[in-house]
Copies of this chain bind each other. A is one copy, B any other.
């Protein structure tokens, strides 16, 4: 049976073939990908793409992009059929054998890939294209079910069994299944904080799944958290540094996505995510050492308050950011070490998880 992606590609290709046969100029329709064609959807909780469509008719001036789009769709179909994958970079190199339709720079092939992604209403990974980046580390009460690419036999990966190490999330996670009795997912900004919690088996004490995002989460990491949370009905608690970057880049991207990739936010955002800490309020509550905010941080806070549709939706975030701007300090995840290396495990996380009033939406 053909996959959804194959069927969609076939349908578009057949339409173009019919146009050509009946001497009609073929047309490709692509949703417009920009902030002007996006809305913050309160019900679903993420940036959604609106109805504007870019119409590309085959003419002398569009012929190259037109051909590139069709060849990229053909490559995607081949990948999906053979269950293989290619990085965006590899797809660019494959085009070097397309004669005049070859791309001269990767941003060109990436843009065509984004257009097809939006056109088909699927995500790039479903098309067989994977990002070339590490997807995050996982430890705790979770069994990941993967399969052997060649024998198709089932592989059960028990994430409680890796000692000080962890399970490294692959670039594409669509094929993974999960077994878990955990009560929640804890998404952690830094590798360092993750390793401390993993070493002391915080996941066992709290019956949870730990995921290190290592900065702004990659697509694979976001998709993994979303899929796991959806399929196993698990809440997602987010634990980052208490600074504009942790709030506005890491948490915001994880929860509602970003503007320029709105057509795929439906797959990659985690609207059920809740911000556990470190909040500006935690600084006093836990007597944490701080660092002064730089001008650029203060500017970022101002921008967020003024322009970010997600922040504008939530009074609690506005208050938290105003408090931070007023106090002019930021705080890090690792600051708890000032009161003993394991305070974060023994006191902070258990208290915060109980005290839902201290969370941010």
Contacts and interface: CB of A to CB of B under 8 A. Distances in A.
A195 interface: yes
A85 B199 contact: yes
Contact of A169 (B96, B161, B165, B212): B165
A214 B336 CA distance: 30
A153 to B, nearest CB: 10
Interface in A64-106: 84-87, 89-91, 93-94, 96-97
Contacts of A146: 162-165
Interface size class of A (residues with CB under 8 A): 35 or more
A25 interface: no
Among A168, A200, A338, max chain B CB count under 10 A is at A168
Interface in A123-177: 130, 132-134, 137, 144, 146-150, 155, 157, 161-172, 175-176
A97 to B, nearest CB: 6
Nearest to A170: B164
A191 interface: yes
A134 B211 CA distance: 13
Contacts of A334: 87, 89-90, 93, 132
Interface in A315-338: 332, 334-338
Contacts of A335: 93
Nearest to A95: B338
A289 interface: yes
A175 B164 contact: yes
Contact of A130 (B148, B149, B168, B192): B192
Contact of A337 (B90, B164, B201, B338): B90
A53 interface: no
Contacts of A332: 89, 93
Contacts of A170: 163-166, 195
Contacts of A94: 337-338, 341
A212 B163 CA distance: 20
A91 to B, nearest CB: 8
B171 A191 contact: yes
A212 B135 CA distance: 13
A132 B93 CA distance: 34
Contacts of A258: none
Contacts of A169: 165
Given A137-B134, A289-B93, A337 B86 contact: yes
11 contacts: A87-B195, A90-B337, A90-B341, A132-B195, A132-B334, A144-B163, A148-B201, A149-B164, A149-B199, A149-B201, A155-B163
Contacts of A84: 199, 341
B157 A161 contact: yes
Contact of A150 (B87, B165, B201): B201
Given A134-B134, A201-B149, A87 B166 contact: no
Interface in A177-193: 190-192
Nearest to A166: B168
Contact of A147 (B163, B168, B200): B163
